[in-house]
Every structure is written in structure tokens, then in C-alpha cells.
Structure 1
Amino acid sequence: MGKPDADGPGLPDLPPEWGRVVVPDDASALATEAEQIRHELRRTPRRAAAARSPYALPLLVLIVAVLTTLAGLAAVTWPRTDRSTPQPTPAPHAPPAGLAGRPLPALDLVDAGQSPVPLRALVPAMIILVDGCPCPQEVATAAALAPPGVTVVTVADARPVRATPPAGATVRPLADPAGGLRAFLHLPARPGAATALLVDRSGVLVRVVPEIRSAEDYRADLTRLAA
């Protein structure tokens, strides 16, 4: 039988928290405990070696850096559309300041038979540039509102665009292959929009409407052209 440490002479003082320690007479009684200790010792170096691997920390840093870069690229390049926010309507081009009050340039346009037509011979007139849009509704509205004696002229880029005016109204279709009117206005044609020029009987430019949006853009000036 084993003896408690308190009965055995020569044993060093042991920590009190260990409690009562019994030393067996036969060492084979500790075989099971010894095998468990050897098993733990064999496992401990492997864990320590894995924790001390020289590649573990650099590999972790590299993985984090790659994931961060990919996340940033995805955030920048991923297409996003906010359907809840209305898209602003593009503002119309503004004509250069000082056009109003200037005389209409002496340009010859062409009719359907490619015969020259002096533009100044048609004043007073509302000239509608339809090179960006035929805009038949806008042309018909202007023809219906034009007072007697005021000519409504449509100007296309290559060949005249015929419009169907309302009963009792007339529209003179012409073309400006050389682009002289656009060069005079410094206003590019915009798809889906028509530009209007209102010219009095003396050939002076009264108003430029970069994009006709409604009859209210020109109604008052169109009425005054007949005076």
C-alpha cells in the first residue's frame, strides 16, 4: 500500500492546493497515468510547431489584403441604379447672349426641288429647325397659332421635311444642307428637340427658343410678329 506524503520522511514540502499525495509501493500502478502524460507530450510539440510556422502570419496578412482589394474593386465597379431617386431632366442648351436684336443672316436655303430660297424673303417668320426632330405636333401647333402674314418655316439638314399643317395654316418646308443657321446660332441639334427662331418683318431676330417644350415658350412673341 502507498503512504501519504505526511508519513514519509525526507519529502519536500508540497503546495497545499495539491491536497494529500499518496506514493504507491508498486510503480506499475502509475502506468495508466504515465501513458496519458506521454500522449500529451507527443501532441504538444505538433501544436507548438504549427503555431510557430514562419508562413502562418504572412499568409494570413496576404489573404486579408487580397479580400480587401477585391471588396474595394467590387464597390467601385459594380453597377448601381437608385430607382427611388428621379433622374434630372437635361437642361436645354442656352443660345449665346446677344442674338436677340441681331439681323437674320442672308442665307439661301433650298426647297424640295433644290431651288434656292432667300431666308430673309420669308419674314416675318417663325423658323423651326427640325434637324434633330421632325416634331410634327410642335410644327402643327405653331402653324395654328401663327397670325396672318407670319410664315412658319421648317428647316431640315439635308432635304425638306414636309409637315401636315392644320386646316387654314401653311408651313414652308426648306433645307439647310450647309448648316448656316446652326452655325449662326452656335446651337447643336439635339435628338428629339426642335429649335425656333422668331424674326420680325424687318429681319431682326426677336427670340430664340433652344428647345420647344410648349406653345408658351413663344406664343407672346409670335403674336407680336404681325404688328
Structure 2
Amino acid sequence: MGMPDAEGHGPSDGLPDLPPEWGRVVVPDDASALAEEARQLRHELRRSRRRAAWRRRLGLTPRPDGRPPLGLPVLILMVAVLTTLGGLAAVTWPGSSRSGGSPTVVPYPGPVGPLPALDLVDAEDSPVPLRALLPAVILLVDACACAEQVADAATTAPTGVTVVTVAGGRDVSPAPSSAGAPVRALADPAGGLRAYLHLPAHPGTATALLVNREGAVIRVVPELETVEDYRADLAGLAG
């Protein structure tokens, strides 16, 4: 038997009983008044169908026996693998690609203390105290002749600054003639400077040290290319 509606009226003949919690049900005379509600309902139904279709494709729908879907562990595993690969790519990606092709310049972690009191040798195999030549631009030429870099250093060095070339072993190569600062050609048979700097020699390149009058190393260029690598520090040598 029918229930009265929200205002206490009995049910209309021919209509099924409606739950009382629905309240008063008003049926408009013009069906177009329900167009917006119908559009929203169709949208929800389409979204539910798409969600169900994707869950079936990914194997996320429950199995008939009630056990978890097969696709869920696979999806979790894929996410974990992709996350790991992304982290590895971020760590190992070359620095040149992130910086637009320009190499990353790493400051030389050189010695903090003063230049050690090393005795080198000249062409006559006589000992020469290195600290007696300060202030100086010291060029380690044990891996190349580097005549151009030596000439540029002699031309650019301020007055009172000595340019020192240091070869390996006991073979002292004659310094190139230059109208600039004097050039002292020496050799380091014991490899004391390389050991102090912890820098191996690279074939075809020189290493430059700028040492002021007090013996403090103010600049180290591990692989010298041009005088521009240390020109900005030359003014502090003669002071």
C-alpha cells in the first residue's frame, strides 16, 4: 500500500511507493527543465564506463575468486622501476648537457700552506732555492716544451716577478729569449713540486703556480692553456 508524500498526501494512483526520505517529488510539466540534470547524469555514466574500461585493460578489476587483481602488483613494480631509472639518470647525466655544452669549472683544491722550501737545479746542476726567486710565476714544463706559454708569461709578468720554468729529471731546457720578465730555467729531479701539488703531468700541457713574495700560493692552473687563465692574479704578485 502507498505511503503519503512529504506533505501528507497519499500516493497517486498507478505510481509505486517512494521512500519517505526522498521528500516531496515534483515532476515538472516541461521535460526540458530536467535537461541539465540529464546532462550531468550522462557525463557521470560516461566517466564511470571509461574508468571501468581502463581498469579492465590494466588488469585492476577484482577476480571472481575475490583475490587481488593481477595488474596491481605489475603497476606498482612499473612505477618503482621508472622512479629508480629517473633517479639514476639525474645522477649520471653529463654535466656538459645540463650547462648548455660548457664544461663545469671545478676550483683546484690546492695546498693551503706556503710553498715548501725546495731546492731545484739549474743547467750546471747547481742547487737553486726556489723561494729565493719569489715572487714568481712557476711553469711546470715536464710534460711539454710549451714555449708559447713561457713567452707569454715572460711578457705579461709585472716588474719584479720572475718567470721560472721547471722541467723533470736533470735536463734543463734553455729558456726562450724574451723582452719581458727574466726567465729562470730549472729542473726538479725529485719531483717535489708535483708531489706538493698532488698533480700528475699531462702530456702536451703545463701547470702554472703563482706565488707571492711571502711564499703563499695564490693561484694554481693544473692545465695551462693561455695567459688569460691567470692574468687577473698577476697584479697581486708584485705587491
- Output the TM-score relative to the length of structure 2: 0.54
What is the match of residue 186 of structure 1? 198
User: Is residue 123 of structure 2 the alignment partner of residue 112 of structure 1?
Assistant: yes
Unaligned runs of 5+ in 2: 1-100
Aligned to 1:103: 114
Partner Cα distance (2:152, 2:208) in 1? 13
Q: Check 1:184–1:89 CA distance in 2 against 1; reply closer, same or farther (3 A cut).
A: farther
Q: 1:146 to 1:186 in 2, by over 3 A?
A: same
Identity among equivalent positions (%) equals 63
Q: 1:170 aligns with which of 176, 182, 187?
A: 182
Map residues 197-208 of structure 1 onto 2, 5 A cutoff.
197-208=209-220
Task: Give the 5 Å matches for 1:71-82.
Answer: none
Secondary structure at 1:139's aligned position in 2?
helix
Q: Distance in 1 between matches of 2:129 and 2:102?
A: 37
Indicate how the Cα distance of structure 1 residues 135 and 207 shifts in structure 2: closer, same or farther if over 3 A, else same. Answer: same
Q: Output the CA distance in 1 between the equivalents of 2:106 and 2:175.
A: 25
Alignment partner of 1:188: what SS?
Answer: coil
Alignment RMSD, CA only? Answer: 2.2
1:123 and 2:134 correspond: yes
Between the two proteins, the alignment pairs up a number of residues equal to: 138
CA drift at 1:166: 1.9
Q: Which has the larger radius of gyration?
A: 1
Amino acid at match of 2:137: M
Alignment CA distance shift 1:152-1:225 (3 Å): same
Structure 2 CA distance for aligned equivalents of residues 214 and 156 of structure 1 = 19
* Greater RCO (Cα-Cα under 8 Å, separation 6 or more): 1
TM superposition score normalised by structure 1: 0.57
Does residue 137 of the first structure (1) align with residue 148 of the second (2)? yes
